[in-house]
Amino acid sequence: MIYCSGPKVPFNKPFIAGNELSYIWQAVIKNGQTSGGGVFTQKCQSWLVKTLESDAAFLTHSCTAALEMSAILCDLHPGDEVIMPSFTFVSTANAFALRGATPVFVDIRADTLNINESLIQAAITSKTRAIVPVHYGGVACAMDEILQIALDYGLFVIEDAAQALLSTYKGKYLGTLGHIGCLSFHETKNVISGEGGAILLNKTLEEDLASRAQIVWQKGTNRTAFFQGATDKYTWLQLGSSFLPSEIAAAFLLAQFEFAHEIMEKRRRLVDLYSRMLKPLEDFGFIRLPKNLGKGLNSNGHLFYVLTSGLNERSRLIDFLARRGIVAVFHYVPLHSSPAGRKYGRTSGFLAVTDDISARLLRLPLYYEMEPEDVELVAQAIKKFYRN
Ligand SMILES: *Cc1c(COP(=O)(O)O)cnc(C)c1O
């Protein structure tokens, strides 16, 4: 999160739906449970299962934690390889590198900025175990093609759907298409609990994923089965860790879930407004806007970006906007060129689009309480920059 002294239009502004504190009061005072796995955790998990039509969901304390759970569930060993874009957040790669696996970075498509599915096959070796599509900005990867490749080669598909709550692909919710889906409720995402996340499991692709996930989630123990009376010993069964959030976070999150669709609708309207207001600049060839997504891809309005003509122009535009109290920020430093990315990962082919786009992409302010006038202010400032 970027703070500057009293910006007129901040980059992000965490939104409080209304019932957060009353639910926390219920959890702490009425139910008397602050540790994880209580009534609010159950309610949040039910909401996810029902709303996203998922087979099973467990809350986690972050999407990072959900990705780390995924890496444990795939039973990776040192030397195994996991295919992913380089244009993503560090957690996508960290989770697998922590298990000794090698992230293999593949270039992205210039239209959606998602992993280029046509380059995946060339990255597969005898050591490949999984593909991790990242749905950038809540826009779906080419899931049909990716799932077909995974099926052909016997690979796991773990969706990094951190930014994609309620986005859909051909009528299905992102995070529910692969074997595993990982969501984030970090303060910078659409729906928040400070830090927070969830892991979604697909029983159609692998029957016992959900029951195995429950054990990993409970620090590698059969705690849940024990308390349900299904076993008489409470014991350590396999690798696991502390992945549950507290009931306090779950109570906060439930209040947000109840408002999730409104949040998405508002953000979509702001994205549409940005597109309409900045279209003339695209027509004149100054900037490029996010591409029309095409049939079947429904984004949740997570972010809005423009592509400038280069690094230098982007820096000047950031300064120009900052002087007018508008906070716009760039996004990922490609992982393949980062110190840890070079150490733990490798590339497959040239990552020309990744290098090019990451130097030119600028994210504009977008948050629930933003008003059309704020969007107009930002758009006018950008127009002024290009008029000069
Ligand atoms: C935000 C984000 C994460 C990490 O989410 P946390 O909940 O902060 O751990 C991972 N991947 C992507 C693509 C993200 O945008």
Q: Give 6-46 pLDDT, tens digit per residue.
A: 789 999 999 999 999 999 999 999 999 999 999 999 999 99
How many CA atoms lie less than 13 Å away from 289 in the CB half-sphere?
Answer: 18
Q: Are residues 252 and 124 in the same domain?
A: yes
Tell whether 281 is covered by a domain: yes
**What is the extent of the structural domain holding 340?**
260-387
Residue 284 sits in a domain of what CATH number?
A: 3.90.1150.10
Q: How far is the CA of 228 from the centre of ligand 1 (A)?
A: 33
Total residue length of the chain? 388
3-state secondary structure the chain: CCCCCCCCECCCCCCCCCCHHHHHHHHHHHCCCCCCCCHHHHHHHHHHHHHHCCCEEEEECCHHHHHHHHHHHCCCCCCCEEEEECCCCHHHHHHHHCCCCEEEEECECCCCCCECHHHHHHHCCCCEEEECCECHHHCCCCHHHHHHHHHHHCCEEEEECCCCCCCEECCEECCCCCCEEEEECCCCCCCCCCCCEEEEECCCCCCCHHHHHHHHHECCECHHHHHCCCCCCCCECCCCCECCCCHHHHHHHHHHHCCHHHHHHHHHHHHHHHHHHHHHHHHCCCCECCCCCCCCEECCCCCCEEECCCHHHHHHHHHHHHHCCECCECCCCCHHHCHHHHHHCEECCCCHHHHHHHHHEEECCCCCCCCHHHHHHHHHHHHHHHHC
Q: Are residues 296 and 152 in the same domain?
A: no
pLDDT at 1 over 70: no
Provide the pLDDT for residue 7.
Answer: 86
Condensed to tens digits (0 to 9), the pLDDT of residues 81-127 reads 999 999 999 999 999 999 999 999 999 999 999 999 999 999 999 99
Q: Are residues 242 and 337 in the same domain?
A: no
Total domains in the chain come to 2
* Site to substitute for ligand 1 among 61, 84, 86, 163, most atoms within 8 A of C-beta: 163
Contacts of 16 (CB under 8 A, 6+ apart): none
Look at residues 236, 257, 278 and tell me which one is the last residue of a structural domain: 257
Tell whether 8 is covered by a domain: no
Question: Distance between alpha carbon 241 and the CA centroid of its chain, in Å?
Answer: 21
Q: Which atom of ligand 1 is nearest to the CA of 197?
A: 7
Condensed to tens digits (0 to 9), the pLDDT of residues 121-172 reads 999 999 999 999 999 999 999 999 999 999 999 999 999 999 999 999 999 9
Q: Are residues 227 and 276 in the same domain?
A: no
Provide the pLDDT for residue 67.
Answer: 98
Residue nearest to atom 1 of ligand 1 (CA): 162
Look at residues 211, 228, 257 and tell me which one is the last residue of a structural domain: 257
* Site to substitute for ligand 1 among 61, 63, 299, most atoms within 8 A of C-beta: 63
Condensed to tens digits (0 to 9), the pLDDT of residues 326-362 reads 999 999 899 999 999 999 999 999 999 999 999 999 9
Q: Are residues 307 and 245 in the same domain?
A: no
Q: How far is the CA of 231 from the centre of ligand 1 (A)?
A: 36
Provide the pLDDT for residue 350.
Answer: 97
Q: How far is the CA of 91 from the centre of ligand 1 (A)?
A: 7
Condensed to tens digits (0 to 9), the pLDDT of residues 246-298 reads 999 999 999 999 999 999 999 999 999 999 999 999 999 999 999 866 677 89
Q: How far is the CA of 39 from the centre of ligand 1 (A)?
A: 26
- Enumerate residues lining ligand 1, CB below 6 A: 62-64, 88-89, 91-92, 134, 160, 162-163, 184, 186, 197
Q: How far is the CA of 138 from the centre of ligand 1 (A)?
A: 12
* Site to substitute for ligand 1 among 134, 186, 299, most atoms within 8 A of C-beta: 186
Q: How far is the CA of 171 from the centre of ligand 1 (A)?
A: 24
Q: Which atom of ligand 1 is nearest to the CA of 184?
A: 7
Tell whether 188 is covered by a domain: yes
Q: Are residues 78 and 53 in the same domain?
A: yes
Tell whether 55 is covered by a domain: yes
Q: Are residues 249 and 301 in the same domain?
A: no
In this prediction, residues 70-91 reach a mean pLDDT of 97
Q: How far is the CA of 86 from the centre of ligand 1 (A)?
A: 14
Provide the pLDDT for residue 292.
Answer: 66
Q: Are residues 240 and 277 in the same domain?
A: no
The residue ranking higher by pLDDT, 226 or 145, is: 145
The encoded tokens of residue 95 equal 């989770």
Of 217, 185, 183, 221, nearest to 200 by C-alpha is 183
Q: Which atom of ligand 1 is nearest to the CA of 134?
A: 13
Q: Are residues 202 and 310 in the same domain?
A: no
Residue 183 sits in a domain of what CATH number?
A: 3.40.640.10
pLDDT at 186 over 70: yes
Q: What is the pTM for the complete model shown?
A: 0.96
Q: Are residues 251 and 276 in the same domain?
A: no
Q: Which atom of ligand 1 is nearest to the CA of 195?
A: 7
Look at residues 204, 232, 257 and tell me which one is the last residue of a structural domain: 257
In angstroms, rounded to a whole number, what is the distance separating the alpha carbons of residues 329 and 335?
Answer: 18
Residue nearest to atom 8 of ligand 1 (CA): 186
Query: What are all long-range contacts of 145-150, with beta carbons under 8 Å and residues at least 24 apart?
Result: 145/117, 145/118, 146/115, 146/117, 146/120, 146/178, 147/177, 147/178, 149/117, 149/120, 149/121, 149/124, 150/178
Q: How far is the CA of 291 from the centre of ligand 1 (A)?
A: 23
Question: Are 57 and 32 within 8 A, CB to CB?
Answer: no
Tell whether 355 is covered by a domain: yes
Provide the pLDDT for residue 5.
Answer: 57
Q: Are residues 278 and 247 in the same domain?
A: no
Q: Which atom of ligand 1 is nearest to the CA of 67?
A: 10
Q: Are residues 83 and 219 in the same domain?
A: yes
Provide the pLDDT for residue 228.
Answer: 87
pLDDT at 230 over 70: yes
Q: How far is the CA of 247 from the centre of ligand 1 (A)?
A: 21
Provide the pLDDT for residue 17.
Answer: 95
The encoded tokens of residue 82 equal 């996991």
